[in-house]
């Protein structure tokens, strides 16, 4: 009886609201094209600068190019719920839309800040979606929209404040690995702050400055974005998503410790110039691959910890034909 009354209330509350999937695709495509063109024109200055920042620093911020693609895939995963969601303009959406545009202008004219301009863009896009499509569609699209924030380049000051302590951890961890695994090769190391002095069996000393070769720590945002993408696409329960997100930072730190140790070995066994070259950036980028493997392994473990019972809503929803 309560289910029937709930469905009646839902039907009354959604009266006059057509599902997104029932709209003519030509109209939806036209609306999307017009909205995209308007956003590109309004935020073209930020988009151009973000593109240049990401392209000019692919090792640290190149992941920004993949963020819209992943957000689109997240929407594609939710396509059935999205097409069933009722569409109706929601005028309170004007508030976040106008606020986002106002903040964007303020952070251009008043206090020029690229990072906050990007966050203002995401807020304006959120308001636009709420205004045009309504809360039912936004409820499905909220996570893909929020994921767009990973495409925003964090300011240098904030990154330094975040990564300084992480660099110290990377230095100490790298020194520990070099000490343990370098002993059979006659490798000795000494750490002072962010600098690791690595000495080979012949007595040659190479200094590895973790503060300068900190690509792995600069990629902490990329690792968190990767963890969020895996959590949103692979996890079935909210607590699994939270667990993967919370572990994304330790994964980034652990892999950066490994990167520092590998770089130390390469400077002694292969080429001392690697300590001051671009090898640290390449290694930091390559570590995204084992990072992805670790996240997928974590999701696999979490899915085995709790198995869905036949009566759970998740399985029940899969049994309902679309």
Asked if 153 and 115 touch (Cβ cutoff 8 Å), the reply is: yes
For 281-291, what is the mean pLDDT? 74
Residue 220 lies in a domain: yes
Same-domain pairing of 285 and 214? yes
Residue 73 in any domain: the answer is yes
Q: What does the alpha-carbon distance between residue 256 and residue 94 come to, in Å, rounded to a whole number?
A: 44
Same domain, 180 and 54: no
Tokens 């945002």 correspond to: 221
Q: Give the domain extent around 119.
A: 21-153
Same domain as 136, residue 52: yes
Does one domain contain both 120 and 163? no
Rounded Cα distance between 166 and 251, Å, is: 12
In a domain, 312, yes or no: no
Would you say residue 243 lies in a domain?
A: yes
Share of the chain above pLDDT 90, in %: 23
Give the closest residue to 309 by CA, choosing from 231, 241, 239, 236. 236
The CA distance from 169 to 145, in Å, is 33
Q: Assess whether pLDDT exceeds 70 at residue 319.
A: no
Whether residues 161 and 145 fall in one domain: no
| Helix (H), strand (E) at residue 100 | helix 94-109
- pLDDT digits 0-9 by tens, 231-257: 888 888 888 888 888 888 888 888 888
| Six-digit token string for 268 | 């002694």
**147 and 188 share a domain?**
no
pTM summary value? 0.75
- Assess whether 297 and 172 both reside in one domain: yes
């Amino acid at each position: 009886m309560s289910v029937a009354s709930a469905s009646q209330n839902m039907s009354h509350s959604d009266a006059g609201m057509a599902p997104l999937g029932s709209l003519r695709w030509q109209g939806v495509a036209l609306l999307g094209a017009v909205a995209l063109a308007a956003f590109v024109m309004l935020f073209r200055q930020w988009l151009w600068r973000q593109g240049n920042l990401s392209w000019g620093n692919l090792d640290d911020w190149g992941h920004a190019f993949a963020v819209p693609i992943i957000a689109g895939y997240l929407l594609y995963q939710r396509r059935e719920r999205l097409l069933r969601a009722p569409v109706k303009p929601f005028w309170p959406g004007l508030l976040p839309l106008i606020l986002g545009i106002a903040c964007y202008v303020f952070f251009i004219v008043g206090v020029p800040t690229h990072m906050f301009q990007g966050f203002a863009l995401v807020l304006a896009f959120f308001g636009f979606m709420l205004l045009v499509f309504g809360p039912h569609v936004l409820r499905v699209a909220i996570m893909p929209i929020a994921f767009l924030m990973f495409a925003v380049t964090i300011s240098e000051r904030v990154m330094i404040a975040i990564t300084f302590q992480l660099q110290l951890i990377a230095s100490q961890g790298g020194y520990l690995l070099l000490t343990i695994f370098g002993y059979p090769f006659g490798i000795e190391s000494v750490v002072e702050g962010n600098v690791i002095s690595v000495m080979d069996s012949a007595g040659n000393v190479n200094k590895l400055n973790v503060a300068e070769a900190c690509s792995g720590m600069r990629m902490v945002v990329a690792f968190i974005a990767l963890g969020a993408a895996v959590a949103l696409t692979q996890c079935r329960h909210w607590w699994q998503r939270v667990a993967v997100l919370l572990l994304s930072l330790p994964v980034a730190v652990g892999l950066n410790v490994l990167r520092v140790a590998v770089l130390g070995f390469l400077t002694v066994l292969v080429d001392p110039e690697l300590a001051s070259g671009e090898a640290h950036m390449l290694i930091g980028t390559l570590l995204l691959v084992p990072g992805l493997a670790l996240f997928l392994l974590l999701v696999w473990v979490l899915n085995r910890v709790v198995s869905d019972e036949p009566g759970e809503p998740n399985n029940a929803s899969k049994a309902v034909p679309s």
